[in-house]
Each structure stands twice: as C-alpha cells, then as structure tokens.
Amino acid sequence: MSSITSSCYSNLILKKKESRINCGSHLQYNGLRAIETVQMPANSASSKPKAVKCGRIRAMASPGVSAPKRETDPKKRIVITGMGLVSVFGSDIDNFYNKLLEGQSGISLLDCFDASDYSVRFGGQIRDFSSKGYIDGKNDRRLDNCWRYCLVAGKRALDDANLGQQVLETMDKTRIGVLVGSGMGGLKVFSDGVEALVQRGYKKISPFFIPYSITNMGSALLAIETGLMGPNYSISTACASANHSFCAAANHIRRGDADIMVAGGTEAGVTATGLGGFIACRALSQRNDDYEKASRPWDRNRDGFVVGEGSGILVMESLEHALKRGANIIAEYLGGAVTCDAHHMTDPRPDGLGVSSCITKSLVDARVSPEEVNYINAHATSTLAGDMAEVNAIKKVFKDTSEIKMNGTKSMIGHGLGAAGGIEAIATIKAITTGWLHPTINQYELEPQVTIDTVPNVKKQHEVNIGISNSFGFGGHNSVVVFAPYKN
C-alpha cells in the first residue's frame, strides 16, 4: 500500500493557499486508492531544520519558506483556561505531574475485586478517591466510578477556570457546553445489572441500570450538576474518545455554537468485567511478578498494555471570551483531527496510513507545519504492533525528527482507555507550561527502529514550541490534538 509521504501535508493543505510547505512527491487518495501523483519542489538537502527557542513561535523550516498563517480571529482562537483530572496519582494536577516527572509507577496489584484467579492481577487502580465537596452522598453511592471521576474532574476544571457555581450563575449558560467521551461507560453498573438479572430475575435490576450504564451520562450529569445548557453529548470511539471530544468541542466554539466547552474523557475499566474482557482479547501484559515494569512502550520485551482508569477534562474557551472575563490562559489549542484505519477491530494498520493522515490533518487544522512540532505525547500503549505502527506513522509525517522528543505517559499510569487522551492532554499542557518532559519509564532495550528521543527513564528539560498528543482506539479510530504556548 502506498502511503502518504513527506514532512508536509496531505492534499488537504493544497486547498489552503496560505499553507506553502516544500516537500517531495505526494499521493492523493480516493479512499485508499492512489488516483493522482502531484509533484512538488523538494526541500534542499542542505537546509537542516534548526531548533527554535520558545519566544514567538516560528517554524523550523528552510530559508525562504514561511509557516502557515495562524488563526487570528479571537472568536475562533481556542485557549485552555482550566484543567481537572482524576488519576492514580490523585486529583491535584501539580502533584500528578510531579509524580510523572519523578518517573514513579502508579501500577499496583488490584484489590477492588478478587482477581486472584485471573491471569493478570494488576493495573492502574485509583485508590483513596474522594468526591467530597463535589458529589452529594446519596448520588455518590449510586454512581458508577466512571461518572464519579467525570464529575470530580469536570468540577475541578471549572474551578480551575474560575467558573465555580457562583460565577456560572452570572453567565449565559446556554453558551457553555459539555462533551465528555467514554469508551465503555458505566461498566460496573452494567455488570451488576446483568448479574442481578441472571441470579435473581429482572425485577431485581436497579432502576439506575440503564441511565448509569450509557456512555452519554458523564456529559449529562455534569451539565445537570452545573446547569450548563450548551451543546451536550458524548463521543465513544474507544481509546480515541477524549481527543475526539476535544476536536468536536473546538468546532462548536469555532462555529459560534458556544463560548466555552468543558471537554475530555472518563473511564472506570478496572473492574472484573473490564479486566476479564481485555485478558480475553490477549491485549494485556502478563508481568504479575514485576507489574511496575509491565508497561514499557517501545521496549523490545514489551508484552501488552496495562489497564488504567480516571478522567481528564479541559475548559476550552474562545480567546475573545477568555480575555473579556479576564481568565487565566494556560495554553492554546491549535487544532486536531480524526480518521479511521478501516483495517481491523483491534490491530493497527501496519503501514500506519490512518495514523499518519490523522497527524497530517491535525496540523492542517492547526495551521502548523511539521517543522514547528518538537514534542509528541505518544499513544504508546506498550503493545507489540501498536507502538511501532505509531512510530512508523510519525516518521512519515516528520522526516527530520532530530529536534523532536516523545514520551509515553502510559508507562507510569497504564492505559486510561476513553480517559487516556484527556489525562495525556493535561500532561502535554504541563510539559508546555513547565518546560520539563516526564520520562518514559521501563526503557531497557529500545526497538532499533525507534530513532526518536523517547526521554528514557529520566525527565528532560525541553522548551516546547508545538506539542501534539496522539490517541488511537479499537475499531481503528485515530485522534490527534495540537497544543502550543499561548502568545498574544
């Protein structure tokens, strides 16, 4: 299969007159069939990209080649004004990122259910979770953890954006929407309902069985709790759900549907059913006796991913609205994209075409040239096929990776499934704001094809010009988002 080449864009960028990037030959696709070859001037071999210090963001491109013109309309520029999470390292974002910088593993033996007979008995289980001050006691007892995590992360994000309940009461809440994705929804409530049906009959099924199982309930409950009446739904594209939600939320702001979107992902897959299901898929690491070293992205001896859970939510806001209310602007969302591998239910395309085209389209949407990107928060689940498919796709888009660093958050917290993109977006933004990249731990014997700096085992200082965060899910769903430091 021919694949998209170049450190440049797909044919979509050719439609944007302001985006002129030097590149080699380029294949235009109709579905997956190459229908036309377009020849474009190649970059001079002697013009090596140079690193750019983070002041005003500039392309690391050849002399005389300008970067795409960024969006300037403050109604369409989207900034991050709040962040909230629930993770294996707690719900305080600074503490969470400090644990990542330390290279600490959050993986442990499971005790939230009896896993003694399971072939895998460990994961990224959240312990000592408290919803005090965020969910009332009666509801707290009924809710699936998936929605408990969502409500706490969502309300913490709103508080971080100075959008607490008293402030919200003074605002037009029809202009504030919620879009929180989940891969599986209320899995524990669903499992308990099926168990009640089988063992005691349908009359013993909880009346909350359906409402607390369906995947839209995170967005719905957060809106009910806060009174937000703008666009509200859920996206369920497996482990691509959170990034997919960011892309959709951004489009609502750009179209003028909303001024603010509360967006991200949530998941509570560390359950008997969730663990058993992934064991049946043969997707998990089997390192029961060395579980802290089980998640090892790009290591030659990796043997599967480690299941995790949590929630990561951002407050995304038009620059115009953020400036008008005097919000603290943390970073800028430049763009994103979604594609599909159209290949297999669980395996990635070996040629990486779905992923490379998703990265390319995200850069087009962000109006960013590949030469400007110098940080990638990779999907990097620690699976045999997935890790290398992602690296191959990255190399197709970024021909010179000498200035790029990429790391794998999942090496420390496991795979948060539908929440992964949300949590990793926060890690990406913290890398931008702190100038420090967390390590990819458990790097002992790197795959020889991985020639990009993976920040092995020890944190590194790195001034991020443009950072991208990748998320890919079962079904071949791909989603990529692009963040940058906020500049006036």
Q: Could you tell me if 421 and 479 are in contact, meaning their C-beta atoms sit under 8 angstroms apart?
A: yes
> Of these residues, 379, 438, 462, 477, which one is catalytic?
379
Q: Could you tell me if 228 and 404 are in contact, meaning their C-beta atoms sit under 8 angstroms apart?
A: no
* Beta-carbon count within 10 A of 220 CB: 17
What does DSSP assign to residue 104? -
> Of these residues, 26, 415, 438, 462, which one is catalytic?
415
Structural tokens at position 409: 């958050």
> Does 415 participate in catalysis according to the annotation?
yes
Measured distance CA(59)–CA(55) in Å, rounded: 12
> Of these residues, 23, 146, 239, 247, which one is catalytic?
239
Measured distance CA(234)–CA(432) in Å, rounded: 28
> Does 252 participate in catalysis according to the annotation?
no
> Does 340 participate in catalysis according to the annotation?
no
Select from 488, 430, 487 the least CA-distant residue to 462.
Answer: 430
Q: Could you tell me if 105 and 408 are in contact, meaning their C-beta atoms sit under 8 angstroms apart?
A: no
Give the 3-state secondary structure of residue 198.
helix
Measure the CA angle with vertex 481, ends 83 and 262; round to 5°.
35
Q: Cα–Cα distances in Å, from 125 out to 68, 181, 441, 478?
A: 43, 20, 18, 26
Measured distance CA(410)–CA(297) in Å, rounded: 8
Select from 187, 202, 99 the least CA-distant residue to 145.
Answer: 187
Dihedral of CA atoms 158, 163, 166, 167 in degrees, nearest 10, equals: -170
Give the 3-state secondary structure of residue 6.
coil
Give the 3-state secondary structure of residue 464.
coil
Residues labelled as active-site residues: 239, 379, 415
